[in-house]
Amino acid sequence: MAASIVVFGSLNMDLMVRVTRAPRAGETMRGLGFLTNPGGKGANQAVACARQGASVAMVGCVGEDDFGEALRHALAADGVDVANVRSVEGSTGVAVVMVDAEGENRITLVPGANESVKADGETLAGEFLLLQCEVPMSEVVLAAGIMHARGAIVVLNPAPVCQLPDELWSLVDIIVMNEIEAAELTGLPVSDPANAAIAASSVRQRGPSTAIVTLGGQGVVLADEDGCRHFPAMDVQVVDTTAAGDTFIGAMCAARAAGRSMDAAVMRGIQAATICVTRPGAQASIPYLHEMAGP
């Protein structure tokens, strides 16, 4: 049976350093802690879907090295189908993640094997396709085209942000952006729910029927055919925001795949991301279904 959600994207090993603040040029600073943890926006979203009980397959590439093996095992341990995670020559993707005292992260990504990911009709199947921008954009467009033609719901997280090819916009059903991505894609200021709603509405005019802007502590704005709604965030002590957006997307898609309404799915996403930010790491911080409140 095909997985209901297929994630086409990146797998990275995250090398996370906790710091009081980012060092200045030429400065050496003592870090407060170090964690090696499976990450990558694609793999994180796959894990977030799987931990909410969805049936998920991952399409991606790792290198022929220890990090690649560890990433594949981590996904499989979460029940993600890794039959289409290929091993290629060279290094697995690595992300150097610096997390400051406020829990904010700064990420430097070396894509490695992620550059070798290819879209083809054989490996892509499901009701939902989740895309990000850590694999070649030409392949992201191809994957979206294949799955759009098959009637799947195509979900795009335009991260790391870049200008999107014109042909991609009309293939996307749901776009999920943070404030930086929404501002970059629209050229509009995005700093609060009011201006995020304007940006989300403007993005909808380019193709996606649903546009979502995540605003961290200010919650989430959803724009769809029923209008714009703001969903407040929950107040928690933030430890590390890494993978919060990925967790939101995975939990939201898992809820949609389980038949929940868009509003209910957004609330599930917020609840999962709220738990995620209270814990360190990427995949290490993504919650399981049994940790969620409510049915």
Q: Which residues are the active-site residues?
A: 246
Asked if 251 interacts with ligand RIB (CB under 6 A), we say no
Among 3, 9, 40, 168, contact with ligand RIB (rule: CB under 6 A): 40
CB of 250 to ligand RIB, least distance (A): 11
Distance CA 154, CA 47 (A): 18
Q: Smallest gap, in angstroms, from Cβ of residue 160 to ligand RIB?
A: 8
Q: Using DSSP, state whether 149 is helix, strand or coil.
A: helix
Minimum CB distance to ligand RIB, residue 92 (Å): 11
The smaller minimum CB distance to ligand RIB, of residues 228 and 249, is found at 249
If one asks whether residue 75 binds ligand RIB (CB under 6 A), the answer comes out as: no
Structure tokens at 133: 């921008």
- Residues 188, 240, 250, 171: is their CA dihedral positive or negative? positive
Single residue of 18, 41, 51, 256 touching ligand RIB by CB under 6 A? 41
**Packing angle, helices 66-77 and 41-51, rounded to 10:** 20
Residue nearest to ligand RIB (CB): 39
Residue 244 to residue 130: CA distance in whole angstroms? 16
Rounded-to-integer distance, Cα 67 and Cα 64, Å:
8
Q: Report the distance separating Cα 143 and Cα 118, nearest Å.
A: 8
Are 219 and 179 spatial neighbours (Cβ–Cβ below 8 Å)?
no
Distance (Å, whole) CA 23 – CA 118: 37
> Nearer to ligand RIB by C-beta: 145 or 216?
216
**Site map 125..164 versus ligand RIB, x via CB under 6 A:** ---------x------------------------------
**Site for ligand RIB (CB under 6 A): how many residues?**
16
Minimum CB distance to ligand RIB, residue 23 (Å): 20
Going from the C-alpha of 281 to that of each of 89, 177, 181, 210, 215, the distances in angstroms are 27, 21, 22, 29, 20
Please identify, using beta-carbon distances, which residue of 84 and 92 lies nearer to ligand RIB. Answer: 92
Q: Which of residues 209-248 bind ligand RIB (CB under 6 A)?
A: 242-243, 245-246
Number of neighbouring beta carbons within 10 Å of residue 223: 24
Structure tokens at 50: 């799987």
Q: Using the rule CB under 6 A, is 92 a contact of ligand RIB?
A: no
Nearer to ligand RIB, 109 or 130 (CB): 109
Q: Which residue ranges make up the site for ligand RIB (CB under 6 A)? A: 10, 12, 14, 39-41, 44, 95, 107, 109, 134, 242-243, 245-246, 282
